[in-house]
C-alpha cells in the first residue's frame, strides 16, 4: 500500500469513527458532535496525523473542540484511530 493510499484510508477511518461516536453514543443522549468540548484522538502511527487532521476539518466545520492527539499500540492490528470525547448540553 502506498503512503498516499494509507493517508486516504486513515482520513476515511477517522470520519467513520466520528460518525460511530455520534450515532452510537451522542445521539442516545440527544447530543451531536457539536456538543463535544474535548476530544482525545489516539493514533496507532503519528505519521497519520495529517490525514486525521484533514478529516477533522471536514467533520467539524464550525468551532473545533479541544483536542489531544496521542499515539498508542492497539490490541487490534487493524485499528488505526480511536476517538473519545467529553460533551455537554449547550
- CATH number for the domain spanning 39: value is 3.30.1330.40
Give the separation between CA 27 and CA 50, rounded to whole angstroms.
Answer: 28
Number of domains in the chain: 1
Contact 10, 4 (CB under 8 A): no
pLDDT given at position 7: 67
Q: Range of 50's domain?
A: 3-87
Rounded CA-CA distance 90/31 in Å is 9
Give the pLDDT confidence score for residue 2 in this predicted structure: 53
Note the pLDDT of residue 64. 86
Which mean pLDDT values do the consecutive 10-residue runs of the chain (90 residues) have? 65 90 92 93 93 91 90 85 91
Amino acid at each position: 500500500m502506498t503512503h498516499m493510499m494509507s493517508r486516504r484510508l486513515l482520513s476515511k477511518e477517522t470520519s467513520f469513527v466520528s460518525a460511530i461516536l455520534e450515532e452510537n453514543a451522542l445521539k442516545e443522549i440527544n447530543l451531536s458532535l457539536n456538543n463535544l468540548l474535548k476530544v482525545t484522538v489516539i493514533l496507532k502511527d503519528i505519521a497519520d496525523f495529517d490525514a486525521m487532521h484533514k478529516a477533522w476539518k471536514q467533520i467539524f466545520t464550525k468551532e473545533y473542540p479541544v483536542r489531544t492527539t496521542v499515539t498508542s499500540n492497539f490490541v487490534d492490528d487493524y485499528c488505526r484511530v480511536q476517538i473519545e470525547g467529553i460533551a455537554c448540553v449547550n
